Structure 1
Amino acid sequence: MAICLGAAPESLPGATRGKLLLRVVDKETGRPIAARMHLKNKRGKPVLPRGKGLVKWRDHFVFDGEVVLELAPGHYEFELEHGPEYRIRTGHFEIASKAETTQTLELERYVDMRAEGWWSGDLHIHRSPDEISLLMRAEDLHVAPVITWWNRKNRWTDRPFPSPTVSRLPGDRWVDWMAGEDEREGGALLFLNLPKPLPIADAKRDYPSSVKFLKMAKEHPEAHVDIEKPFWWDVPLWLATGQIDSMGVVHNHLWRDRVLDNEAWGKERNRHLYPPPSGVALWGMDIYYHALNCGLQIPPSAGSASGVHPNPVGYNRVYVHTGETCSYEKWLANLRAGKVVVTNGPMLRPKVNGRLPGAVFEGRSGETLTLQPTLKLALREKIDYLQYVKDGQVVRSIRLRQVRGKLPAIEFDQSGWFLIRAIANHPKTVRLAMTGPYYVRFDGRPRISRKSAQFFLDWLTERARRLPRKPESEFRETIAEFRKARDFWRNLVDEANSP
């Protein structure tokens, strides 16, 4: 789709800027909607134009439905978006010297997740609280925990805490103003729904242990603690506490146009087994699957880290099913219950035997349980197949052209779990969607894999060896937490009922 606005500019010294009055409307309703634009010049370089009311970040900007852009004469290409439930509008225009042009662009919704009970959130946002209302509207995002305290940074040091700490904005959107992050040598934990920041400002790189702050957070019954990425070094330590609420499987190393192809200072992947660009995503997913293989019922989550990384707000998002209505408390409760889909691309709405993700199916020894998935799928980009992941292994790849309206059933004759995922073809990044897991328990017991429990035990041992021995008192306090975690994983190895 190409849109020509004005005439081609003359390449003259001192040519003045042109102005473009741009309006964006919903195609169905005709109403103005906030939007995000990625604008590039003829050399393919991102352009952040002048304009009142623009909120800019890295290679894009957002605006509230109507804006006057001031641009140097020239040729421009654009991509226009309103979150992943609308089709991307692409086009080009020419800006002429001193020209003033008006253009209205329509954006078309192709799926309405909220209408089907799914409400979107991004658990990892580093943007200014002053901008968040516009950003949420531009991205059609419903839940936004904004990181306002993070290691030594604390927005509330010289100002009163907001009251309430969670605000409901117009359009059924919720902002948690008191979200925080503890990001140090062991990795990053995200804290949601707290009444005040945790006292982490004086924490050192390794000490005190992040478990200390995890336990502090959990003194508040409504608090939610998220493992920001699966490959952080302290993941086995955190999982062993039994106090983790979710794990960021669609995380901030997955960017809109490329990946951050490393594990930061976390546990590195085998790049031969997990080559780029998909390797950084698949490694994280496999770690998450190991946790599920240990009988842990932890839902996946998603976060973009906009404000630190180039992602727009809500690029990586988790959809939580709460039905016709939502509240922040209900959204977090259903996130913890696993009624989720995580995505940065495909739109999945799954059920299995009529039930949402997070459901537990019970069986008895000698029986075979037959589970029938159904799935609604909406796409902006092509995917070739869906995958069934059962007990950590891809057991079925289903080409979309072969589905013909019905997915194959999946059978269990012993405890385990499964989920459905879709990965879009992209040469530079990873666009994927994954349902929360469904659990199967025979005789009331989960499946516990000896291999997966040993995986975390070995990892924990490797991490403990990296701890500095000084200061001695802090080392002793922290190593005590590691011993508790060691006992937890050893017990799982001993109690395993599956290879």
Structure 2
Amino acid sequence: MSNAFHSVSKANAADSGPITCQVTDARSGQPLAARLRLLDAQDREVVPLGHPESLAEGAQEGDVRFQSRRFAYVDGRFSVDPNRLPLKYQILKGYEYVIAEGTLGPDSVRDGTITIPLSHWSSLSRQGWYSGDIHIHHIAPKTCRLEMDAEDLNVANILTSDFTLDQDQFEGTVNSYSSGRHLIYVNQEFRNHELGHLCLLNLKKLIEPVKEVQPHHYPLHVRVCDEVHSQGGYVSWAHFPSWPGVESPLDVAMEKLDGLEILCVLEPRDLPIFMKQVVPELEANHGLRLWYRYLNCGFRLTATAGTDKMTTFVTVGANRVFARVEGEFNYAGWIEALKAGRTFITNSPLITMNVNGHKPGATLHLNSATDKILQIQAAADSQLPYHHLEIVCNGQVIAEATPTGPRHHAQIHLEFPLRQSGWIAARAYENIESYRAAGTNFSTVHIDRGTLLSDYFGTRRPETVFAHTSPVYVIRDGQPIRSWEDADYYIRYVDRSLQWLTTEAKFASSSDKQASIEAFQGARAIYQKRAEEARLKAR
């Protein structure tokens, strides 16, 4: 974090009225939208002139307040009352700018203006990586544009849904408030509180019913997925760690899902909150492990991320997915990158990985007679500290490194003898044990004190510093990725879903109930087949 001290003569400034301050790029001098916090000499919060002194309870857009900290969104310029000086400031702009901290003091001002430069320490867009939040609610596109600019977010997906009032904002194309490297698209979240929720992207038309929530548990979400894909759209299971739901094992088995929202609403290493009665061995299966189990069964599921922002407690893009676009950046290219699995998710660390030079989303076909060793490289840098960089193969850690230096840099170069087909990914994370020992409740929304991350970025529940790449898939001698243990786990998950469908689900007719049961029985057969294939491979 940088310390820049700027000051102004209080007497002279008072004579000339409010003091104008500008936030600029340290290299180009161009103004930058950003998120700003001001404190007076007694550590009382101060807001720029023209901003509301307090935020309404339940406010949904505009300035934010989280962890008892108030921030204002500014478009590159703001004004302060000279009588409030000196003022301490903290300015943030996403993950690739240094967090600026300093003091607006009582000594001098240049040409009537205080300038606060922000240093850009990373530029992933030069390598084709563009960030997005796939899950935003209750915000107008015009307001969203300022907030995403301030958070250095490239793509904002505002999701209309059964509980929102913005269906008239849907256009089936990029919103008119978009320009350049900042794109807004109004899409849809399709919800059933038992079956699960879906983030539907790149829609040309909304999926019915939009309002209200579908009253019965049939049709299943597989119908929704098919309708989205027929439009060229993208389907991600929403806030997967907190809500794997009744239907995710079915949709995965039928290969209807393009991705899972791994970083959203709940710390990925915490346990599911909703419909947890259908999750076998709940205490041993947090969201991250449930994703790994699907991957171990041979299903390809891209990691996605979003905030599920509904109020001013959450900052747009606090959880984001970076997608590597091939060619010119546009919304269609960004969606194609998601479909291809060229992603990593993060709430601060910038993480890279390649296997034999191939990046996330790639598939390598190897011959064990000639390709005996994999060359794996991973690296991470972060504005906020974390403790571990790890390479994971089929859910097991095969290498790790400890970050050092001002950007918390870590890197791994590994020669790895792959003995079976598998998936490989990299992850960076902060230790969670100290927070749990201190009593941090990761399952409660909008708490006053949480984690280090929550001092800087607003998330609905506390999160640790975390990043994860999507996998590189390595196929050895043409053999598919299989795991008997994980396929058997999802057989038991489907059995619990079937039990719930039989005893608690609501159907309009007996034929709808039978169709649902048959669909889940079909999914069970798929997991059974993959379990048998794993047994045969192990012989």
TM-score after normalising by structure 2: 0.77
Q: Output one character per residue of 1:221-241: Cα deviation in whole Å (capped at 9) or x when no partner.
A: 411000122342132122122
2:466 is paired with a residue whose SS is strand
Q: Which residue, out of 179, 195, 201, partners 2:204?
A: 195
Residues 2 and 364 of structure 1, relative CA distance in 2, 3 Å threshold: closer
Residues 272 and 459 of structure 1, relative CA distance in 2, 3 Å threshold: closer
Residue segments in structure 1 that go unaligned for 5+ positions in a row: 9-17, 96-100, 275-282
CA contact (8 A) 1:79 1:89 kept: yes
Please report how far the alpha carbon of residue 295 of structure 1 lies from its aligned counterpart in structure 2 after TM superposition.
0.4
Aligned partner of 2:421 in structure 1 is: 415
Aligned Cα RMSD in Å? 3.5
Q: Which residue, out of 519, 525, 530, partners 1:492?
A: 530
Aligned partner of 1:246 in structure 2 is: 259
Mean Cα deviation higher: 47-56 or 410-419? 47-56
Aligned partner of 2:274 in structure 1 is: 265
Q: Which residue, out of 330, 342, 358, partners 2:361?
A: 358
2:492 is paired with a residue whose SS is helix
Aligned partner of 2:36 in structure 1 is: 37
1:176 aligns with 2:185: yes
Q: Output one character per residue of 1:347-401: Cα deviation in whole Å (capped at 9) or x when no partner.
A: 1233222221112121235565322123453321333432111111112222346
Residues 405 and 445 of structure 1, relative CA distance in 2, 3 Å threshold: closer
Q: Output one character per residue of 1:471-499: Cα deviation in whole Å (capped at 9) or x when no partner.
A: 46153443333222222222222222567
Aligned partner of 2:518 in structure 1 is: 480
Aligned partner of 1:56 in structure 2 is: 63
Distance in 2 (alpha carbons) for counterparts of 1:45 and 1:150: 39
Distance in 1 (alpha carbons) for counterparts of 2:39 and 2:347: 23
Please report how far the alpha carbon of residue 7 of structure 1 lies from its aligned counterpart in structure 2 after TM superposition.
9.0
CA contact (8 A) 1:49 1:71 kept: no
CA contact (8 A) 1:214 1:225 kept: no
Distance in 2 (alpha carbons) for counterparts of 1:348 and 1:289: 19
Aligned partner of 1:277 in structure 2 is: none
Q: Output one character per residue of 1:311-334: Cα deviation in whole Å (capped at 9) or x when no partner.
A: 311111111112452121121112
1:387 aligns with 2:425: no
Residues 291 and 170 of structure 1, relative CA distance in 2, 3 Å threshold: same
Please report how far the alpha carbon of residue 117 of structure 1 lies from its aligned counterpart in structure 2 after TM superposition.
1.6
1:243 is paired with a residue whose SS is coil
CA contact (8 A) 2:391 2:400 kept: yes
CA contact (8 A) 1:293 1:452 kept: yes
CA contact (8 A) 2:421 2:480 kept: yes
1:496 is paired with a residue whose SS is helix
Matches within 5 A, 1:143-158: 143-147=155-159, 149-156=160-167
Distance in 2 (alpha carbons) for counterparts of 1:227 and 1:146: 16
Aligned partner of 1:85 in structure 2 is: 96
Distance in 2 (alpha carbons) for counterparts of 1:334 and 1:204: 31
Please report how far the alpha carbon of residue 76 of structure 1 lies from its aligned counterpart in structure 2 after TM superposition.
5.6
Q: Output one character per residue of 1:189-221: Cα deviation in whole Å (capped at 9) or x when no partner.
A: 100011121112233465235415524533524
Aligned-pair identity (%) = 25
CA contact (8 A) 2:49 2:78 kept: no
Distance in 2 (alpha carbons) for counterparts of 1:187 and 1:45: 43
1:218 is paired with a residue whose SS is helix
Amino acid at match of 1:227: W
CA contact (8 A) 1:208 1:478 kept: yes
Aligned partner of 1:279 in structure 2 is: none
Aligned partner of 1:12 in structure 2 is: none
1:104 aligns with 2:104: no
1:131 aligns with 2:131: no
CA contact (8 A) 1:229 1:284 kept: no
Please report how far the alpha carbon of residue 83 of structure 1 lies from its aligned counterpart in structure 2 after TM superposition.
1.0
Aligned partner of 1:11 in structure 2 is: none
Distance in 2 (alpha carbons) for counterparts of 1:205 and 1:265: 18
Pairs aligned (count) = 472
Please report how far the alpha carbon of residue 67 of structure 1 lies from its aligned counterpart in structure 2 after TM superposition.
1.9
Residues 260 and 436 of structure 1, relative CA distance in 2, 3 Å threshold: closer
Aligned partner of 2:227 in structure 1 is: 217
Residues 73 and 44 of structure 1, relative CA distance in 2, 3 Å threshold: closer
2:135 is paired with a residue whose SS is coil
Distance in 2 (alpha carbons) for counterparts of 1:42 and 1:237: 58
Aligned partner of 1:330 in structure 2 is: 333
Aligned partner of 1:67 in structure 2 is: 78
Distance in 1 (alpha carbons) for counterparts of 2:395 and 2:239: 18
Mean Cα deviation higher: 376-385 or 107-116? 376-385
Q: Output one character per residue of 1:81-140: Cα deviation in whole Å (capped at 9) or x when no partner.
A: 111010111235579xxxxx9532111111000012211111111232221221221122
Distance in 1 (alpha carbons) for counterparts of 2:34 and 2:234: 30
Distance in 1 (alpha carbons) for counterparts of 2:113 and 2:520: 63
Distance in 2 (alpha carbons) for counterparts of 1:301 and 1:114: 18
Aligned partner of 2:481 in structure 1 is: 447
Amino acid at match of 1:319: F
Distance in 2 (alpha carbons) for counterparts of 1:46 and 1:272: 41
1:248 is paired with a residue whose SS is strand
Distance in 2 (alpha carbons) for counterparts of 1:219 and 1:166: 21
Residues 494 and 86 of structure 1, relative CA distance in 2, 3 Å threshold: same
Residue segments in structure 2 that go unaligned for 5+ positions in a row: 11-16, 53-60, 107-111, 436-450, 452-462
CA contact (8 A) 2:63 2:71 kept: yes
